[in-house]
Structure 1
Amino acid sequence: MKAFDRKLPPVLARLHCLPFDSEEGEGIDFEPYEQFESAKETTGWLRAWTGNEAVEGGEFRIFGQDGTGGYAAFWLVREGKPLPEQPIVFFGSEGELGVVARDLSDYLWLLAGGIGPYEAVANEVKAGSGKKNTAFTDFAMKHAPEAKKSPSAVVRAARKEFPDFEKTIRALCR
């Protein structure tokens, strides 16, 4: 297992300074991290999640979790591209699994629409779902104005680009 830089990309680090408030089930259920999980912790978690002692966690950078312990992570599948250009995925504590955003810019707009990683995977994201969040909208407008789209469009685009993510991960499970 190869160690990696645990420092978050600057935009993600600034995003994690904003208040994530689940608003008693009506907001975003997310606990952001100040740095990525270590390579050792990531591999240990992926082995536990899949039940497969042979897997390594090197293609994931975990940057936060929901209240039940499900993880949000960058999935490093775009060779040679920086972290902010990698897709964001979610592994739920009860087996929920999915790609939630094509990249960090789209992720910002998912949050702006009041949808977090868990909500994007556990619920059907329809037009108008989610409670808009002014702080996250302002942040997205500042850091990714060119990527502006609805949460449903974010999730749809991610699933269209990475249709085999869930099948790929489930194939690792024992």
Structure 2
Amino acid sequence: MIETTVDDRSFPPALAEVARFEFGYGDEGEGVDFEMYDAFDSAEETTDWLRAWTGNEELDGGAYRVFGQDGSGGLAAFWWVREGRALAEQPVVFLDSEGERGLVAGNLSDLLWVLADGFGPREAALHEHREARPDAELGALAERHATTPRRGAREIIGEVRAEFPSFSDDLDELCR
């Protein structure tokens, strides 16, 4: 496990602002299926979830900061994998309740651009080929907070997948 410098469970300002946004799934199911939490899950909740997800009772959830979920119970989290770097510089992942998983964004700023492009964590991780549906309100939020250049969701997802090509295989190795 990577040692983290802070075990603060409150959101960074940009993520707290996203938490006030109401994502709409829409009548046709074409929107974003995502519900933000008000704060990160506790260390105990995260450990319980990771153990249940992997079937591995030896793991702890210290490498994850869970911040929201979709309607099926799949969770979005920061994955604390870059040693010595702040939470906002860690990649964002999505782990579905049925075992599907994927990378969403390389950091908090890129997550803001992904959301602004109309993708929630599930859509980015598992359905990145769908049409972008830019959201003006989330776009304005990203412009206020992002420290990375504006790019489309597909480009951002491709970048983080290239950086962590063994993400899925590494998770498989944790499973029992």
- Contact 1:113–1:132, Cα closer than 8 Å, also in 2: yes
State which of 65, 71, 74 in structure 2 corresponds to 1:67. Answer: 71
Secondary structure of the residue aligned to 1:149 is: coil
The CA deviation at 1:57 is: 0.6
Secondary structure of the residue aligned to 2:111 is: helix
Partner in structure 2 of residue 7 of structure 1: 10
- Contact 2:110–2:148, Cα closer than 8 Å, also in 1: no
Secondary structure of the residue aligned to 1:171 is: helix
1:109 aligns with 2:113: yes
- Contact 1:77–1:86, Cα closer than 8 Å, also in 2: yes
- Contact 1:105–1:144, Cα closer than 8 Å, also in 2: yes
Output one character per residue of 1:42-88: Cα deviation in whole Å (capped at 9) or x when no partner: 00000000011111110000000001100000000111111111000
Q: Which amino acid aligns with 2:140?
A: D
> Within 2, Cα distance between the matches of 1:19 and 1:87?
23
Partner in structure 2 of residue 147 of structure 1: 149
> Within 1, Cα distance between the matches of 2:42 and 2:74?
16
State which of 62, 73, 80 in structure 2 corresponds to 1:76. Answer: 80
The CA deviation at 1:120 is: 1.4
In structure 1, list runs of 5 or more residues that go unmatched. none
Partner in structure 2 of residue 18 of structure 1: 21
Secondary structure of the residue aligned to 2:66 is: strand
Partner in structure 1 of residue 160 of structure 2: 158
The CA deviation at 1:147 is: 2.2
- Contact 1:4–1:38, Cα closer than 8 Å, also in 2: no
> Within 1, Cα distance between the matches of 2:24 and 2:88?
24
> Within 2, Cα distance between the matches of 1:114 and 1:23?
12
State which of 53, 60, 66 in structure 1 corresponds to 2:57. Answer: 53
State which of 88, 93, 100 in structure 1 corresponds to 2:97. Answer: 93
Q: Which amino acid aligns with 1:66?
A: D
TM-score by length of 2: 0.92
How many matched pairs?
172
Partner in structure 2 of residue 137 of structure 1: 139
Secondary structure of the residue aligned to 1:89 is: strand
Change (3 A) 1:7 1:145: closer
Q: Which amino acid aligns with 2:159?
A: A
> Within 2, Cα distance between the matches of 1:11 and 1:145?
11
Write out the 4+ residue segments of structure 1 that deviate beyond 4 Å after TM superposition.
none
TM-score by length of 1: 0.93
> Within 2, Cα distance between the matches of 1:109 and 1:141?
9
Output one character per residue of 1:23-54: Cα deviation in whole Å (capped at 9) or x when no partner: 23111111000000000000000000001111
